[in-house]
A and B are shown apart, each in its own frame.
Chain A
Amino acid sequence: MLEVRLDAWMRELGVRDVERLDASNVKELLDELERRYPRLRLKLRDETGGLRRYVRVFVDGEDAGRGDGTAVPLSGVHTVDILHSIAGG
């Protein structure tokens, strides 16, 4: 079972800081999070299904990357971190 760690920014959407779930890739993981927390819908991904500009997904510490990052497989993975990058002013 995957351990999914979510950053503090998402607390306002009602999520906990750690979730445990099964998913075969990042897209499935995000689908499951949105099923558990409907308010997350469209907050991490836009209507194309792509990650929003400042959302970063790290799979066992490795950046899943932009574009097709949601297709990254999670087989054998222990931890996924979902973070927001530092930006703004």
Chain B
Amino acid sequence: MAEKKVRVLLGTRKGAYVVESDSKRKSWRVGQVESPGREVFHVTSDPRHPGHLYAAINDWMFGPIVKRSTNWGKTWEEITTPLMPATQERKPEFDTSGGEVQRPKHAITNLWHFEPGHADEPETLFLGVDPHMLFRSDDLGKSWVAVDSINNHSTKTDWGPGAGGPCMHTILIDPKDRRRMYVGMSAAGTFRSENGGKSWTAANKGVETPFLPHKYPEVGQCVHHVVLDPANPDTAYRQDHGGMYVSHDRMANWERIGKSIPTFKQFEDDFGFAVASAPALPGRAFFVPLEGRSRVTVQGGLQVFEWNDTKRSWRALMTATKIPGNYGVHREGMNTDALDPAGIYVGTTTGQLVLSPDAGKSWSQVPFQFPGIHSVHVVSPS
């Protein structure tokens, strides 16, 4: 039976939400919160199994918890959480005063990102965690195996933690070739596999590291988020600590595009966390510029810019006067639907869910105060 609802899945500081509308995307119904009071870094859906949702929960009391719903979030069950192999030891971390942060040396701290496998592998799931590890399940989460080819990569000695910890937060699978995968880690950068994860190549050429003495190292970039172009997955759009980038060759080379975004002139900065692309708008990518030091929106209001990769130009979809305020937007805080015109959804770290149902022509806000939003994932009608 065809699904007619648009569902926005939110991972927040205090639980997971499913927010529903129809294809007009005018009125919204907020469902009951799942895992109230718990940090939910990511909620996503599995398009191969309609109705299946996964939540990456990081509870301050009980630790990492994986939950699944098979009925669009009406009920949830706890499933197997991956465990860090005893042979894997996390690197020491240091606070700003130089003191070592005391963490268990052999335990997973946080779950960051779920990625359903390719359509040809309907039982496969991937999960990125802190510290810097990828796990794979080939039985829909009954069991997990650490992907040692990336977890013990030869460049690992040069990986560092980002401000959110040493996390694997981005996992991408080429829809046209299941053997081609990408992962993104803070602060290690992006890596590409051409053989289904058997081996990995660092993919950061051209991405600057303003926080390291060497401007263009092979690894160590603090990638914040990456998305593939919906029509041409050889093209990728990247929001990095070191700016906004595009790649046209499967991340082999990156070109910085953020220096021409209109806000760059004032701030000499193209910082941000979120980037998104939309199936109805191939060749475009959406960015939310933030001020690099304060990590909040520039010029006193939420702004969304569109990069047109064909025209090689920027366009403001939302200017700072529309929704004034100093907002934060996390790396998974922006997503799109698959409708035409495309819907664009932005969740803020202070709990506003802002959306455009018409590719950025108009914007509105869901009339509900959510906890701070970590992740936004939109499921479109089938």
Q: Per-residue 0/1 for A38-63: is the Cβ within 8 Å of any B Cβ (1 yes, 0 no)? A: 01001110111010111100000000
Task: Verify A84–B107 contact, CB threshold 8 A.
Answer: no
Closest chain A residue, CB of each to CB of B63: A52
Q: Chain B: interface secondary structure? A: loop
Of A39, A43, A88, the contact of B63 (CB 8 Å cutoff)? A43
Set of chain A residues within 8 Å of B84, measured between Cβ atoms: 47
Task: Verify A50–B60 contact, CB threshold 8 A.
Answer: no
Of A39, A44, A48, A88, the contact of B60 (CB 8 Å cutoff)? A88
Q: How far does the alpha carbon of A47 sit from the alpha carbon of B107 in the complex, in Å?
A: 6
Closest chain A residue, CB of each to CB of B14: A88
Task: Verify A48–B62 contact, CB threshold 8 A.
Answer: no
Q: Is B290 among interface residues, defined by CB-CB distance under 8 A? A: no
Task: Verify A42–B81 contact, CB threshold 8 A.
Answer: yes
Q: Name A26-46 residues within 8 Å CB distance of B.
A: 39, 42-44, 46
Closest chain B residue, CB of each to CB of A66: B102
Task: Verify B61–A48 contact, CB threshold 8 A.
Answer: no
Q: How far does the alpha carbon of A52 sit from the alpha carbon of B83 in the complex, in Å?
A: 14
Q: Is B213 among interface residues, defined by CB-CB distance under 8 A? A: no
Of B60, B63, B105, the contact of A42 (CB 8 Å cutoff)? B63
Q: Per-residue 0/1 for B47-81: is the Cβ within 8 Å of any A Cβ (1 yes, 0 no)? A: 00000000000001111000000000000001001
Task: Verify A46–B104 contact, CB threshold 8 A.
Answer: yes
Set of chain B residues within 8 Å of A87, measured between Cβ atoms: 60
Task: Verify B62–A43 contact, CB threshold 8 A.
Answer: yes
Our count of residue pairs bridging A and B at CB distance below 8 angstroms stands at 37
Task: Verify A52–B62 contact, CB threshold 8 A.
Answer: yes
Q: Name B309-350 residues within 8 Å CB distance of A.
A: none
Sorting the interface of chain A by its residue count into under 10, 10 to 19, 20 to 34 or 35 or more gives 10 to 19
Sorting the interface of chain B by its residue count into under 10, 10 to 19, 20 to 34 or 35 or more gives 10 to 19
Set of chain B residues within 8 Å of A42, measured between Cβ atoms: 62-63, 81, 83
Task: Verify A48–B107 contact, CB threshold 8 A.
Answer: yes
Of A44, A48, A52, A53, the contact of B106 (CB 8 Å cutoff)? A48
Q: Per-residue 0/1 for B83-95: is the Cβ within 8 Å of any A Cβ (1 yes, 0 no)? A: 1101000000000
Of B61, B78, B108, the contact of A54 (CB 8 Å cutoff)? B61
Whole-angstrom distance between the Cβ of A47 and the nearest chain B Cβ: 4
Set of chain B residues within 8 Å of A88, measured between Cβ atoms: 60
Whole-angstrom distance between the Cβ of A10 and the nearest chain B Cβ: 9
Q: Per-residue 0/1 for A76-88: is the Cβ within 8 Å of any B Cβ (1 yes, 0 no)? A: 0000000010011
Set of chain A residues within 8 Å of B78, measured between Cβ atoms: 39
Set of chain B residues within 8 Å of A52, measured between Cβ atoms: 61-63
Whole-angstrom distance between the Cβ of B111 and the nearest chain A Cβ: 13
Of B60, B61, B107, the contact of A46 (CB 8 Å cutoff)? B107
Set of chain B residues within 8 Å of A53, measured between Cβ atoms: 60
Closest chain A residue, CB of each to CB of B107: A46
Most A-side CB within 10 Å, residue of B63, B78, B86 = B63
Whole-angstrom distance between the Cβ of A51 and the nearest chain B Cβ: 10
Set of chain A residues within 8 Å of B81, measured between Cβ atoms: 42
Closest chain B residue, CB of each to CB of A88: B60
Whole-angstrom distance between the Cβ of B353 and the nearest chain A Cβ: 22
Whole-angstrom distance between the Cβ of A7 and the nearest chain B Cβ: 10
Closest chain B residue, CB of each to CB of A46: B107
Whole-angstrom distance between the Cβ of B328 and the nearest chain A Cβ: 16
Task: Verify A48–B105 contact, CB threshold 8 A.
Answer: yes
Q: How far does the alpha carbon of A65 sit from the alpha carbon of B78 in the complex, in Å?
A: 30
Q: How far does the alpha carbon of A39 sit from the alpha carbon of B63 in the complex, in Å?
A: 13
18 A-B pairs with C-beta separation under 8 A: A9-B61, A39-B78, A42-B62, A42-B83, A43-B61, A43-B62, A43-B63, A46-B63, A46-B104, A47-B83, A47-B106, A47-B108, A48-B106, A48-B107, A52-B63, A53-B60, A55-B61, A88-B60
Interface residues of B (CB under 8 A from A): 60-63, 78, 81, 83-84, 86, 104-108
Q: Contacts A44-B62, A47-B86 given; 13 further ones with Cβ under 8 A?
A: A39-B78, A42-B63, A43-B61, A46-B104, A46-B107, A47-B83, A48-B86, A48-B106, A50-B107, A53-B60, A54-B60, A84-B61, A88-B60
